[in-house]
C-alpha cells in the first residue's frame, strides 16, 4: 500500500506541476529594458522600455514610409511596429527561439493567460479585417522566406489580401495565444495580471543541523541528498543532509575533507576560498572548480596579470600601501580540479586531488578588499564569475567598474568546455584557459573585454539563478555608505556603480582618478534592497548577502519569494514580485525563530527562541530546493512554520487521518501513513484532489 500511495503521489505531482512561466521583461536583443521618465516622442511607451530616442525615431520613419492611407489600419500598424519598445519585446518577437518580423498577435484567449489586457478580443483578426484591403508600402506582413501559406509577390507595395490567401493563413503565421510560457500583443503595452502570492507566514522557522562555519554550499550534481560545503580556509567537505523532520544532523567528518586546498589559499579577513562550482556533468566527468585568493609572496603558483594596467590607465607601481608590499601581490584565482577514484563513476568519489588540472583565470588585485569571487554554472553550461571593483578607499578610485577594459566590478561568462591552445589564448589576449561564448554582449566591441556579461557592480556577494525561471539571475551587491541592493542581472547590463549606489547618486569623499559622467550611462536600478539607516542604527554597518527564490514546498507560504539577508544584522528579507514576472518587487523583513525540537539548539541563551546566527555568510539550496543559511555559528535550514507555531494558510492542506504525521504537505502532495486504513482514506483524498 505504501508503494502504491507513493506512485499516486508521484502521478499527482506530475499532474499538478506548474508550467514554466514567462520570463521577466526582456528586450528582443536579450538585454534588460531601460528606464525613461518621459514618454517616447512617437511610440507611446515610458518607464521600462526597450527603445531609446534614436530607435523611436527609426520606428517613426519606418512607419511613415509605409504610407498607410486608412486611419484605422494606420493606428493598428503603428501599435504593432512600436511593440519593439515594449519591455516584453523579447517574448513578443522571439517565439520558440525564432525571431519574428512583427510581434506575436493575440488570436485566441486562455484562462491561464498571464496578461490582464487579453480580454476576449481576437487582435489578429482585427488587424486582418481592418487592413486586408489597405495598401502598405514595404509591408512587415510579407510571407517569410519559408513561404508560409502566402501568395508570393515581388511588389514592395501590397495589401494583406495580396500576400495571404485568408485570415486563417495570416493568423497562423502571425498569431498566437498568451499562455504561461509566452505573451502576445493586443495593440497596447503588455500588462500582466496582478496575481498575488499567498500571504507570507507570520515568521520563518529554522532548525540548526550543523555547527561548522562555511561560505559555500553546493548540492551534489547527482541529485542525491548530499551537498558540498567549503570554508574560507580552503577545505571542502562532502556531507549527507538529514531528511526533513527526521531530527538528524548534517553527516560530515571534519577530519576527512573531500579536498584540502589550504596550502594555496591565502586566508585573511578579506581573503580565502570564495567560490565552489561543480560541472553540470560532474557525475560523468568529475570536474569541479574553486575560486580563491592567493599571495604570490607565499606561493609561486600565485601569478597572473595585474588588473591595474595601462589598458585601464592604472600604474601598479603607484598603488598605495593597501595593495600590499608588491604590486598586485594578491590574486583572485579560478582553478579546475578532478576527483579521485574510478573515472567511470566520479559521482561516487569521496575525495579529490588537490592539484590543479588547469588554471582557468587569474586576476591580480590592486587592493585587499571587495573582490567577491563566487562562481556558478548557468543553465546554458557556461561558468559565471563574480568580481568586485577591487577595493581601495571610498568609491571606485580608478573607475574600474564602469571601465569595460577592466574585469573588476564585473560578472564574467566563460566557456570552460572549449579550451583554446596556448597560442590562441595569447592571440586572443585571454586571461586564462577558457573561450568566449559567441553571444557574450561585448564580443564585437573593441572597447570592451569579451569576458564581460554585466558591469557596474561594487562587490556582488552571492548570486543565484531561479531554478524555476533561469532568466532571473539574482545578485546581492554590497553598498558603501547608504544602500544595499539586489539586482536582476541581464546580458550587457550596467548596474551603475560608482556613479550610483543602488538608486542613489554616489558622491565620493575625494575625486577619483577616473570618472564617468552621469548622463553618459543608462543604469539598471536594483529591484530590492535596504538603506543602512534601517538596520544596525548604532553602528551603521551593513553588507548584503544575496539568496535564492524559495522553491520548496516545506513552507508553501514562502514559495516564489526571494530571500536575502544582511551579514551583520541577522535580518532576513522576503521579496514578493507583483505582478508575477514583472520584475517589480516589494520586500518585508520577516521575523524568525528556532524550532524547539531543533537537532542542535539554536540559541546561546537556553530557552530563547531566537537563533544566535552570528554573521550570515551565504545561503544554500539542496536538491529538494530547501534553503539553508550558512552563518558563523552553524548551518540552519528553513523548516515548516508550524514547528515554530507560525501560521501558514497553505500548510497541512490535506486533512490528517489516524496516525498521519503533522508534517506539512503542499497542495500537490500528502503526508504518508503506515496505517492501511488511513492510507486508503488518504488515497481517496488524493484522487479527489487530482481529478
Q: Helix, strand or coil for residue 58?
A: helix
Reference 621, options 455, 474, 466, 441; nearest CA is 466
Contact by Cβ (8 Å): 237, 215: no
Could you report the per-residue pLDDT of 214-249, keeping only the tens digit for each? 999 999 999 999 999 999 999 999 999 999 999 999
Distance CA 532, CA 333 (A): 31
Structural domains of the chain, with CATH: 22-176 (no CATH), 209-594+612-628 (2.120.10.30)
CA distances for 221 relative to 251, 345, 347, 454, angstroms: 18, 13, 8, 27
Strand residues in 408-503 grouped as ranges (E) = 410-414, 452-455, 460-465, 473-477, 483-488, 500-501
Strand residues in 498-633 grouped as ranges (E) = 500-501, 504-505, 528-531, 544-549, 562-566, 572-577, 585-589, 592-594, 616-621, 627-631
The mean pLDDT of 327-339, rounded to a whole number, is 95
pTM comes to 0.83
Q: Can you give the pLDDT at residue 114?
A: 53
Residue 424: how many CB atoms within 10 A of its CB?
Answer: 11
Contact by Cβ (8 Å): 230, 216: yes
Percent of the chain with pLDDT over 90: 67
Least confident of 318-332, 403-417, 449-463, 663-677: 663-677
State the average pLDDT for the chain. 85
Q: Can you give the pLDDT at residue 253?
A: 95
Reference 640, options 245, 246, 247; nearest CA is 245
Q: Can you give the pLDDT at residue 662?
A: 34
Least confident of 6-10, 40-44, 75-79, 685-689: 685-689
Distance CA 252, CA 632 (A): 17
The pLDDT of residue 272 is above 80: yes
Reference 555, options 490, 640, 473, 628; nearest CA is 640
Residue 127: how many CB atoms within 10 A of its CB?
Answer: 27
Could you report the per-residue pLDDT of 483-536, keeping only the tens digit for each? 999 999 999 999 999 999 999 999 888 777 788 999 899 999 999 999 998 886
**DSSP for 332-364, written as a single string:** EEEEEEEBSS-TT-GGG---B-SS-SEEEEEEE
Q: Identify the residue whose cell numbers are 515581388.
A: 154
- The confidence band for 144, taking pLDDT boundaries of 50, 70 and 90, is low
Q: Can you give the pLDDT at residue 200?
A: 72
Q: Can you give the pLDDT at residue 540?
A: 65
The mean pLDDT of 351-360, rounded to a whole number, is 96
The angle, 0 to 180 degrees and rounded to 10, between the axes of the packed helices 676-690 and 2-15 is 20
Could you report the per-residue pLDDT of 434-452, keeping only the tens digit for each? 999 999 999 999 999 999 9
Residue 133: how many CB atoms within 10 A of its CB?
Answer: 12
- Dig out the grid coordinates for 665 from the structure: 504537505
- The confidence band for 85, taking pLDDT boundaries of 50, 70 and 90, is very high
DSSP class of 447: T
The pLDDT of residue 56 is above 60: yes
- Dig out the grid coordinates for 287 from the structure: 570536474
Least confident of 23-32, 60-69, 364-373, 539-548: 23-32
Q: Can you give the pLDDT at residue 265?
A: 98
Residue 10 makes CB contacts below 8 A (sequence gap 6+) with none
Amino acid at each position: 500500500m505504501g508503494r502504491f500511495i507513493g506512485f499516486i503521489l508521484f502521478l499527482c505531482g506530475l499532474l499538478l506541476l506548474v508550467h514554466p512561466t514567462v520570463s521577466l521583461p526582456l528586450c528582443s536583443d536579450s538585454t534588460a529594458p531601460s528606464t525613461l521618465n518621459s514618454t517616447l516622442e512617437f511610440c507611446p511607451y515610458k518607464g521600462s522600455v526597450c527603445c531609446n530616442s534614436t530607435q523611436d525615431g527609426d520606428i517613426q520613419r519606418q512607419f511613415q514610409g509605409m504610407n498607410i492611407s486608412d486611419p484605422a489600419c494606420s493606428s493598428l500598424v503603428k501599435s504593432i511596429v512600436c511593440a519593439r519598445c515594449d519591455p516584453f519585446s523579447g517574448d513578443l518577437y522571439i517565439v520558440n527561439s525564432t525571431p519574428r518580423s512583427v510581434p506575436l498577435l493575440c488570436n485566441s484567449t486562455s484562462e491561464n493567460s498571464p496578461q490582464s489586457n487579453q480580454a476576449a478580443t481576437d487582435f489578429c483578426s482585427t488587424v486582418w479585417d481592418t487592413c486586408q484591403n489597405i495598401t502598405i508600402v514595404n509591408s512587415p506582413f510579407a510571407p517569410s522566406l519559408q513561404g508560409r501559406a502566402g501568395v508570393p509577390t515581388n511588389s514592395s507595395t501590397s495589401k494583406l489580401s495580396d500576400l495571404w490567401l485568408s485570415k486563417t493563413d495570416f493568423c497562423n503565421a502571425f498569431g498566437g495565444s498568451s499562455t504561461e510560457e509566452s505573451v502576445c500583443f493586443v495593440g497596447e503595452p503588455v500588462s500582466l495580471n496582478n496575481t498575488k502570492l499567498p500571504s507570507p507566514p507570520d515568521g520563518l522557522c529554522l532548525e540548526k543541523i550543523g555547527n561548522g562555519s562555511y561560505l559555500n554550499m553546493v548540492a551534489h550534481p547527482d541529485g542525491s541528498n548530499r551537498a558540498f560545503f567549503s570554508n574560507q580556509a580552503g577545505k571542502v567537505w562532502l556531507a549527507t543532509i538529514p531528511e526533513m523532520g527526521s531530527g538528524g544532523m548534517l553527516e560530515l567528518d571534519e577530519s576527512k575533507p573531500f579536498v584540502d586546498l589550504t596550502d594555496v589559499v591565502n586566508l585573511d579577513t578579506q581573503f580565502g576560498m570564495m567560490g565552489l562550482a561543480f560541472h553540470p556533468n560532474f557525475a560523468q566527468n568529475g570536474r569541479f572548480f574553486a575560486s580563491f585568493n592567493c599571495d604570490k609572496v607565499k606561493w609561486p603558483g600565485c601569478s597572473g596579470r595585474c588588473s591595474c594596467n595601462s589598458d585601464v590607465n592604472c600604474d601598479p607601481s603607484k598603488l598605495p600601501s593597501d595593495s600590499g608590499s608588491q604590486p598586485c601581490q594578491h590574486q583572485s584565482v579560478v582553478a579546475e580540479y578532478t576527483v579521485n577514484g574510478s573515472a567511470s563513476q566520479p559521482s561516487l568519489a569521496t575525495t579529490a586531488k588537490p592539484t590543479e588540472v588547469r588554471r582557468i583565470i587569474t586576476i591580480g588585485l590592486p587592493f585587499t578588499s571587495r573582490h567577491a569571487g563566487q562562481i556558478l554554472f548557468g543553465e546554458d553550461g557556461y561558468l559565471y564569475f563574480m568580481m568586485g571593483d577591487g577595493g581601495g578607499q571610498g568609491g571606485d578610485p580608478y573607475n574600474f567598474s564602469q571601465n569595460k577594459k577592466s574585469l573588476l566590478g564585473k560578472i564574467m561568462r566563460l566557456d570552460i568546455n572549449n579550451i583554446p591552445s596556448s597560442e590562441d589564448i595569447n592571440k586572443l589576449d585571454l586571461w586564462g584557459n577558457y573561450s568566449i561564448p559567441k553571444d557574450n554582449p561585448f564580443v564585437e566591441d573593441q572597447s570592451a573585454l569579451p569576458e564581460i556579461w554585466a558591469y557596474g557592480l561594487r562587490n556582488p556577494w552571492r548570486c543565484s539563478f531561479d531554478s524555476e525561471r533561469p532568466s532571473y539571475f539574482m545578485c546581492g551587491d554590497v553598498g558603501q555608505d547608504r544602500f544595499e541592493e539586489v539586482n536582476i542581472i541581464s546580458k550587457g547590463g550596467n548596474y551603475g556603480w560608482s556613479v550610483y549606489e543602488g538608486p542613489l547618486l554616489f558622491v565620493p569623499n575625494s575625486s577619483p582618478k577616473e570618472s564617468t559622467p552621469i548622463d553618459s550611462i543608462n543604469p539598471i536600478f536594483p529591484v530590492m534592497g535596504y538603506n543602512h539607516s534601517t538596520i544596525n542604527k548604532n553602528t551603521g554597518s551593513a553588507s548584503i548577502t544575496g539568496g535564492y527564490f524559495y522553491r520548496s514546498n516545506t513552507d508553501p507560504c514562502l514559495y516564489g519569494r526571494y530571500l536575502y539577508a544582511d551579514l551583520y544584522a541577522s535580518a532576513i528579507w522576503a521579496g514578493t514580485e507583483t505582478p508575477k514576472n514583472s520584475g517589480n518587487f516589494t520586500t518585508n523583513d520577516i521575523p524568525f525563530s528556532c524550532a524547539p525540537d531543533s537537532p542542535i539548539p539554536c540559541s546561546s541563551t537556553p530557552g530563547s527562541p531566537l537563533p544566535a546566527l552570528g554573521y550570515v555568510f551565504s545561503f544554500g539550496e539542496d536538491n529538494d530546493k530547501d534553503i539553508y543559511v550558512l552563518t558563523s555559528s552553524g548551518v540552519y535550514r528553513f523548516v515548516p512554520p508550524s514547528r515554530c507555531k507560525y501560521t501558514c494558510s497553505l500548510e497541512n492542506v490535506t486533512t490528517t487521518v489516524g496516525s498521519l504525521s503533522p508534517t506539512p504537505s503542499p497542495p500537490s502532495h500528502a503526508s504518508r501513513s503506515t496505517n492501511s486504513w488511513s492510507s486508503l482514506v488518504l488515497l481517496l483524498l488524493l484522487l479527489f484532489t487530482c481529478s
